[in-house]
Amino acid sequence: MHDWKDGQPFSIRFDDVSFPTDSGLEEKRHVFLQGNELARRFAALRPGETFCIAETGFGTGLNLLCTWQLFEQTAPLGASLDFFSTERFPIDDDELCSALALWPELSTQAAALRARWQRRVPGWNRWHFADGRIRLTLAMEDVMDALPQLPSKVVDAWFLDGFSPAKNPEMWSDGVLTAIARASHECTTLAAYASTGWVRRGLQQVGFEIKRVPGYGHKWEMLVGQVAARHAELKFSPQLPGGVLVIGGGLAGCAAAHTLAQRGIKVTLIESASQLASAASGNPRGILHARFAAGMNTLHRFVLASYGHALALLDEVMPVDGVHRAECGLLQLAATESEAKRIGKLAAQEWPPHLLQAVDAEQASQLAGLPMTHGGLWFPAGGWVVPPAVCARLVQHPNITVRLDSEVTSLERVDSGWRASGEGFSVEAEQAVVCSAHHAKKLAQFAAFPLLAVRGQISVLAATEASNKMQAVLCAEGYCAPAVEGQHVMGATSSFGDDGADIRETDHAENIAKLAVHMPALQQALGDAPPLKGRAGVRCSIPGATPLVGEVEQGLYCSLAHGTRGLLTAGISAEIIASQMCGQLPPLPQELLEALSPLHRIKNTGK
Ligand code: SAM
């Protein structure tokens, strides 16, 4: 949708320049950075404080990159930046590459953005840059869908950059301007290239005092604005919590500890077992398997956002190395009638090819490395990781203290916040997050939560010469990962209400039977040898399957009931909790946060 005209990237759709070249960077700095007085405001931040910018059109991300550069030059260490943007028509990887190549002075930031760009999913994306100091929340959707989903009074400065009002009036509609005002507080400012009269009046009507000031270079004027005193609403400015207890050392707990520690918060992670990742997160390999229904209900929108986030988080903490993580791709086979229907509906929708592609049986066979009787969906970024290794990486931070062999049996409110205690120990901190799966029910605050133990057993089979040809993770009713060091991991059974961790022959038989039905070529390649070993883990689920993530009562949060999807959903859930604790921009739209919220669900269900 972009072309080059007179040396400038040009949007064919909007018949307008996407961003100016030659002096383009200086113009952006003049309009948006100086227009919002960012150098002064960044320098005035204190460690632990966050500044939040929102933009109306992400384009090539140039505004983000020069803001990020200025932030690193001017803000004190310990302060962080939330940058929110919307983009309905994301450019492809090559376009981003050539557009950003024009700015050698931003090449470090551009390289980081390009890497994350390959992880983008429709809907909201949350990516960290500069060791977590810069958080980008990018809503790949229409501005009018995205802005009303921001919390009120969260934005400190606006970049109104959505093409000229004459070419793209939707970007400047009353609805958009009202949403901008709702997300602003008494000190919020704005800047825009556009100085069109009706935009100016629209912004005044929603409560901004607007000035026309000299634009840059060939532009006569631009707009700057600030919330008018009569509309001013005080922003609640929370402090970072002094310390946080994280209860549970699986993926959910380790991810929470990681993102809180990155924000400069001291975390004590308490685990009852003698090592981290000892329960459901302890399998030797877990697969990155995102499964959506065509209707994309709330749960599936959450899973989609979680998948994009998980890939980006893994890129940060566990880059692909073939030992702890492989990006071999994953095939969802249309092996049953209902799967064929689901996959057919999804395939009929438009998806970025780096996310998923529909394939026929022949393409599936090529991708799998073994003959497949069905086609299905191909997830190029799917693959496997070693979950205990991910947990170990996540907690490698000087702000995290890990306390093993400590089963928390009571959690009580004390003057300083929360006290977690068990046999022979007691630890206190200002806030607490419970990430202990179905064991949370033993704590009084969670006794009434409808958490369910779900036993799942995997089987490990010896690879053969024929099965070594397998190149991708294969999923139908069960799954099987390509061989690593001569072993395939396949799984997994699901027994609701069962918390037994014993290894059962019946479960092995079930795993193998599923394989035989849906991937006969793989079963043939593996032969009849019995499994080498198995492992049973107990996951935690809840009716409806949407995890419970968020505040439970003041200062107490939870990240629970991730079911079989913890590898995907633990990371973004940690971001939700950290943003709530720190009063920062959340990574997901309000309606998804409500769907996950224990407070909301418990109130609504009367549980
Ligand atoms: N800020 C960008 C940068 O620094 O590179 C330039 C933004 S460009 C002028 C405007 C962007 O708004 C385009 O990328 C366009 O696709 C996007 N856009 C236009 N209409 C939109 C809408 N209704 N919702 C979301 N994005 C939209």
pLDDT tens, 386-427? 999 999 999 999 999 999 999 999 999 999 999 999 999 999
Give me the architecture of the 330-380+452-541 domain, per CATH: 2-Layer Sandwich (3.30)
Query: Cβ(269)–Cβ(396) under 8 Å?
Result: no
Confidence of residue 5 (pLDDT cuts 50, 70, 90): low
Q: Is the CB–ligand 1 distance for residue 20 below 6 Å?
A: no
Q: Where in the chain is the domain with CATH 3.30.9.10?
A: 330-380+452-541
**Alpha-carbon distance 588 to 593, whole Å?**
7
606: pLDDT strictly greater than 60: no
Q: Is the CB–ligand 1 distance for residue 305 below 6 Å?
A: no
Q: Where in the chain is the domain with CATH 3.50.50.60?
A: 243-279+388-449+544-605
**Alpha-carbon distance 376 to 347, whole Å?**
9
Q: Using the mean position of ligand 1's atoms as its centre, give its distance from the Cα of residue 513 in Å.
A: 51
Average pLDDT for 9-37 = 77
Average pLDDT for 367-382 = 96
Which of 12, 29, 58 should be mutated for ligand 1, with most atoms under 8 A from CB? 58
248: left (phi > 0), else alpha (psi -120 to 50), else beta?
Answer: left
Which pairs from 318-322 meet CB under 8 Å and 24+ separation? 318/385, 318/389, 318/390, 318/393, 320/383
- Give the CB-side neighbour count of residue 96, counting CA atoms within 13 A: 23
Burial tier of 208 (Cβ tally within 10 Å: 0-12, 13-18, 19+) = buried
Give me the architecture of the 2-231 domain, per CATH: 3-Layer(aba) Sandwich (3.40)
N- to C-terminal Cα separation, the chain? 50
175: pLDDT strictly greater than 60: yes
Q: How many helices (H) and strands (E) does the chain have?
A: 18, 32
Q: Is the CB–ligand 1 distance for residue 63 below 6 Å?
A: yes
Looking at CATH, the fold of the domain delimited by 243-279+388-449+544-605 is given as: FAD/NAD(P)-binding domain (3.50.50)
Residue type present at position 117: W
Average pLDDT for 503-518 = 90
Q: Where in the chain is the domain with CATH 3.40.50.150?
A: 2-231
pLDDT at 214: 87
Query: Cβ(279)–Cβ(391) under 8 Å?
Result: no
Q: Is the CB–ligand 1 distance for residue 436 below 6 Å?
A: no
Task: Please spell the DSSP secondary structure of 8-72, one letter per residue.
Answer: EEEETTTTEESS--TTHHHHHIIIIIITTTHHHHHHT--TT-EEEEEES--TTSHHHHHHHHHHH
Spell out the residues 6+ positions from residue 425 whose beta carbon is closer than 8 angstroms to its own: 403, 406
Confidence of residue 607 (pLDDT cuts 50, 70, 90): very low
DSSP state, residue 484: B
95 phi and psi angles, rounded to 5 deg: -65, -40
If you compute the radius of gyration of the chain from its CA atoms, what whole number of angstroms results? Answer: 25
| Atom 19 of ligand 1, residue of closest alpha carbon | 162
Q: Is the CB–ligand 1 distance for residue 67 below 6 Å?
A: no
